[in-house]
Structure 1
C-alpha cells in the first residue's frame, strides 16, 4: 500500500503529477502523510489581542447572556418595588425613576461601543477564517 503523490494524482484528480499545482501537490502529500494543512486561526487572533480587546470581549459575552438579562430584570423589578412600595415615603428615587433612567443610560452609553468593538473583532476573525478555508 505504498502510495505516492503521483498515484493519488492519477486516481483522484485524473491528472499527470507534473500538471499539478504546488497547492494540489501539498494537499496530496498531506493526505499521504495523514497530516492537516489547516491553521488554528484562534491562536493567531489571540496573539494580537490587547488587554482592552479581552475586556471588551468579556463584557460583550456577559452582556449578551441570559444570566445577565435575567439578573438585570430582577434588579429593575427590585428597584421599582423598593421605591414604590417599600420606601414610598422616603424613596431615594421616586416615580418616574429619574436616577434609574440615568443609570440605565450610562450603562447603555458604555456597553454599546464595547459591544461594537467586540463585533468588529469577530468580523476580523471571520475574515481570517474565510481566508484560510
Structure 2
C-alpha cells in the first residue's frame, strides 16, 4: 500500500501554507481528514444552535410581519378602525379617534418604529447565516478537493509500484529468466 503523507505535509504541499498559518476552516478540514471524521454540517442547524432568544424572536416577528396573513389582517383592522370611528361610533356620539385618525397614526408610527429595527435584526441574522453557510460550503469543498488529491497520490503510488514490478519482470525476461 502507498505511503500516506502526514496532514502537515499535505497542508504545505497542497494548500501551500505551513500548518501554523492555516485559517480555522482549513485546520478543521485537515484535522477531520486526519481523524477520518466528517466535516459537513447543516448551516441552519449551526445557526439555530448559536441563536439567542432575541435572535429567534426577531426571526418570528419578521416572519409574521412579512406574511400575507399579516398584511390582510392589518388591512382589515385599519379599515375596521376607520369605519368604526367614522360611521358607527359617530352615530352614537362615542368617536374616540375621528378623521384624520391621529391616534391611529400614532399607533402606526409606533409599530413602524419598533418593527423596522426588529426586521433589521432578523436580516442581520440572515446575513450571518449566509456567511456561516458559505464557510461550511468552503470546508466541504476543501475537504473534497483534498481527499481527491490524496486519492490521486495513492493511485499514482500504486501505478508506480505496478510499473516497477512490470519493468522488473520485463528486465528478467530480457535477461533470460524463465517466465512465471
Fold-level similarity (TM above 0.5): yes
| Alignment root-mean-square deviation, CA | 2.6
Which whole-Å CA distance do the structure 1 matches of 2:55 and 2:40 have between them?
25
- Once the two structures are TM-superposed, the CA of residue 132 in structure 1 deviates from its matched residue by 2.2
Name which one, 1 or 2, has greater alpha-carbon Rg: 2
Unaligned runs of 5+ in 1: 1-19, 27-35
Which whole-Å CA distance do the structure 2 matches of 1:38 and 1:117 have between them?
27
The residue number in structure 1 matching 2:55 is 53
Aligned residues: 107
The residue number in structure 2 matching 1:72 is 74
- 5 Å matches for 1:1-133? 21=14, 38-88=40-90, 89-133=93-137
Which whole-Å CA distance do the structure 1 matches of 2:56 and 2:105 have between them?
29
Runs of 4+ in 1 over 3 A off after TM superposition: 20-23
**Structure showing greater relative contact order (alpha-carbon pairs closer than 8 Å, 6 or more residues apart):** 2
Q: For each residue in 1:34-80, what CA deviation from the matched residue of structure 2 results, as whole angstroms up to 9, or x when unmatched?
A: xx753111121111111111111100000000000000000000000
